[in-house]
Amino acid sequence: MDDSNSFPISRRDLLVAGASSIASTAVPPAAAQASAGEAPVLARVTLQVNGTPRTVEVDTRTTLLDALREHMHLTGTKKGCDQGQCGACTVLVNGRRIVSCLSLAVMNQGAQVTTIEGLGTPKALHPMQAAFIKHDGYQCGYCTPGQICSAIGVLDEIKRGVPSHAAADITAQPQLTGAELRERMSGNICRCGAYSNIAEAIVEVAGGKA
């Protein structure tokens, strides 16, 4: 049955419509939030990123994650959920781990930011990077930069005596028990399920027996 008259759209029309729809969604994240006719408020932000001062002009609604990835082109830090749920975007700010998708770039003016690119080099890996490789602590690798930054933050928290929800006595010096490790790394999701290998890597760096 020829139904061309009841559905009068050509293949070319369809391709043009598809291309327009893709173009309309391919906009920078902060700009995507702007309402029509509302001019973005811009701010100059200087961060010490991996030991180097970096100044960018960003929409004040730009997250630290987008400032790193879209403005500084440091794409090692990954965007998973963009809602603080997965930990893929974890970086170290002034030595403490944060999810960079929940922090505005302007809130970090002057801060020391360490991303996965600043931890080590292929020839001189950070011990946590080397341990992840040794213990096969990844499969696709998408969560790995966040896992490594978070793991470094966890060991530092334990060293500084910061209690977690798993602590029976919050006044006691925390130890790297299985419960502590699970609790402290619970914000870093690995869809590939490399958890046991990740745990082995962290325990080894902490000086324990994996």
Q: Strand pairing of 42-49 and 112-114?
A: parallel
Three-state secondary structure call for residue 99 = strand
- Residue 84: name the closest of 172, 189, 164 by CA: 189
In angstroms, what is the minimal distance from the CB of 197 to ligand FES?
Answer: 9
| Of the candidate residues 45, 64, 67, 86, the single one contacting ligand FES (CB under 6 A) | 86
Candidate list 49, 72, 79, 129; residue touching ligand FES; CB under 6 A: 79
The amino acid that residue 90 corresponds to is T
The Cα 145–Cα 124 span in angstroms is: 16
In angstroms, rounded to a whole number, what is the distance separating the alpha carbons of residues 144 and 132?
9
Q: N- to C-terminal Cα distance for the chain?
A: 68
Q: Which is nearer to ligand FES, 72 or 99 (CB)?
A: 99
Stretch that binds ligand FES, among 3-11, 42-50, 122-130, 185-193 (CB under 6 A): 185-193
The SS3 call for residue 97 is: strand
Exactly one of 16, 19, 27, 140 binds ligand FES (CB under 6 A); that residue is: 140
Q: Is 195 in the site for ligand FES (CB under 6 A)?
A: no
CB of 173 to ligand FES, least distance (A): 29
Give the nearer residue to ligand FES in terms of CB position, either 11 or 73.
Answer: 73
Q: What is the edge-to-edge ordering of all strands in the sheet holding 42-49?
A: 52-59, 42-49, 112-114, 90-93, 96-99
**Rule CB under 6 A: is residue 190 a binding residue for ligand FES?**
yes
Among 31, 32, 42, 81, binds ligand FES (CB under 6 A): 81
Cα gap 150→143, rounded to integer Å: 11
Q: Give least dist CB 63 to ligand FES, A.
A: 8
Cβ–Cβ under 8 Å, residues 98 and 47: no
Residue 84 touching ligand FES (CB under 6 A): yes
Applying CB under 6 A, among 45, 49, 74, 87 the residue interacting with ligand FES is 87
Contact set with ligand FES (CB under 6 A): 79-82, 84-89, 99, 101, 138-144, 190-192, 194
